[in-house]
A and B are shown apart, each in its own frame.
Chain A
């Protein structure tokens, strides 16, 4: 039987299908077009147009169990799906993808940064960013735009970072513009942006053991950030094959169990 996991994130809605612990497929949609095209509210519950989504043939869909997490879950219950807390979903995804049951999870998504500690399969502590999303994927997207680069290009550079100190992701843009005018190389500017992310994340990581760090969320694809994190913490860093779909994979794993 197919197990379906859905992670309604701030930047993307992600889907994962699992059968017998194996990933069948992964899909994602940008959040706003996704809600506009496929979602509606019926009697206070979120309804998704699965026919239009065309993820699965109708007969297979009928036999599917679904688990959902993410932002949409807070105010809306999704029709026909069990709702789980985000932390639970991400931990389950990381366990399935890495096969580990003792590690510290660092999940850096569109707006959220989460750190969770798992020991022997039991969640023993966790932390989430509060009030401020300056250490998130959205911040990197904005900064790439300011530098007129792709996110991929931004993610390549970690050496000799230009110092950036603004605590606000929006004021950070004008600070970066100031550094561009000063004539620093693009590589150093990119490294500076990636380094600010590290500076925001380190205080969150501080109270957790760091022997094994599993890094998930879209930011895990930023190899410069991962490099900086490795240099600073000395941790054994594991980026699963599908970091961005980790929450959806976790939901599917919970749906199948």
Chain B
């Protein structure tokens, strides 16, 4: 089992025959994610540090994960300190960096280094990419059924795409589940009318955001980062794939992708989720300046259901969009 702190070239682990574990997914689906954060705080993690970092720490220790790939560039610098603390606990950590300038030279070097570490070859990595590509195509179809045919809910869309970061640790089983889901979803009646929302930013720490929005008559038809995890662009090589992947690079390329999807998916309003204490909160300024649609910036700190204040803000936003549509 190899844990990782955010999406990495999954192809490498698959080619090496290792079981991938996206630590974020394990943390947020844990029966007691808040308990994992408490453990980290008791160990000494500050209160004013991202909940995900603390959750990942708790997951690695509690699940006895022996090796972790830590993304030290392209995600937050807190990961560096997390890696160091884990090293102190005797966990083997492997750094991986997305070069900010998207240099194909640096990125191919990083991927080659990762492949060497896990004892696999670039040929095997490309073969793994072809295998994953078949599964990813099915998830892209789930995404299309969400926005074009309105047969898949925003929460389901989130789930299927977010899981592509590690394919739930078992590619074959995940593919079979996706097939079954697709067969069922295609037979559904399309959802009627309602407001169409985009969700941008890192995946939410809240447990009930999507169903709450649907109760209010608004459906998420675009999950930005989750879709990026599913590698949505047709490309020729593993290096190109992780160059096109927008999440670890600059906000402007992310915004190009977001703007195109907002138009294509006929989105009424945008929810920009930011994690408390995250550097991406600063980028909210740029997001607001660039996107010409109503935006609600939502801040989450700890896992659990939406708090009363966030619900008030969501209700206000949905009501405002409804008023603008009239």
Contact = CB atoms under 8 A, between A and B. Distances in A.
Interface of A: 71, 74-75, 85-88, 112, 122-126, 128, 130-131, 207
Nearest to B299: A130
Given A85-B315, A131-B301, A207-B288, A126 B320 contact: yes
Nearest to B308: A74
A86 B317 CA distance: 11
B320 A87 contact: yes
A126 B299 CA distance: 15
B20 to A, nearest CB: 34
A87 B294 contact: no
Contacts of B320: 87, 123-126
B255 interface: no
B312 A86 contact: yes
Interface of B: 276, 288, 294, 299, 301, 308-313, 315-317, 319-320, 323-324
A164 to B, nearest CB: 21
Nearest to B317: A126
Q: Which secondary structure dominates chain A's binding surface?
A: mixed
Contact of B316 (A86, A122, A124, A207): A86
Given A130-B299, A131-B299, A88 B316 contact: yes
9 contacts: A75-B308, A85-B315, A87-B320, A122-B324, A126-B316, A126-B317, A130-B310, A130-B313, A207-B288
Nearest to A83: B315
A128 B299 contact: no
A87 B311 CA distance: 12
Contacts of B288: 207
A125 B312 contact: no
A131 B263 CA distance: 32
A133 B320 CA distance: 24
A71 B316 contact: no
A168 B278 CA distance: 19
Nearest to B326: A122
A130 B317 CA distance: 15
A122 B323 contact: yes
A85 B308 CA distance: 12
A201 to B, nearest CB: 17
Contacts of B301: 131
Nearest to A117: B320
Given A75-B308, A128-B313, A131-B276, 9 more contacts: A85-B312, A86-B312, A87-B320, A88-B319, A123-B323, A124-B320, A126-B320, A128-B312, A207-B288
B324 A124 contact: yes
A256 to B, nearest CB: 19
A216 to B, nearest CB: 15
A131 B313 CA distance: 12
A242 B247 CA distance: 49
Given A130-B309, A207-B288, A85 B316 contact: yes
Given A128-B309, A128-B313, A131-B299, A87 B324 contact: no
A74 B312 CA distance: 7
Contacts of A122: 323-324
Nearest to A88: B319
A124 B293 CA distance: 10
Nearest to B311: A74
Contacts of A130: 299, 309-310, 313
Contacts of A74: 308, 311-312
Contacts of A85: 312, 315-316, 319
Nearest to A71: B308
Given A123-B323, A207-B288, A128 B316 contact: yes
B29 to A, nearest CB: 25
Nearest to B324: A122
A202 to B, nearest CB: 15
A87 B316 contact: yes
A85 B319 CA distance: 8
A123 B267 CA distance: 18
B326 to A, nearest CB: 8
A65 to B, nearest CB: 19
A131 B310 CA distance: 9
Contacts of B312: 74, 85-87, 128
Nearest to B274: A130
| Residue among B311, B312, B317 having the largest count of chain A Cβ atoms under 10 Å | B312
A163 to B, nearest CB: 24
Nearest to A86: B312
A59 to B, nearest CB: 34
Contacts of A207: 288
Contacts of A131: 276, 299, 301
A125 B276 CA distance: 22
Nearest to B315: A85
B50 to A, nearest CB: 14
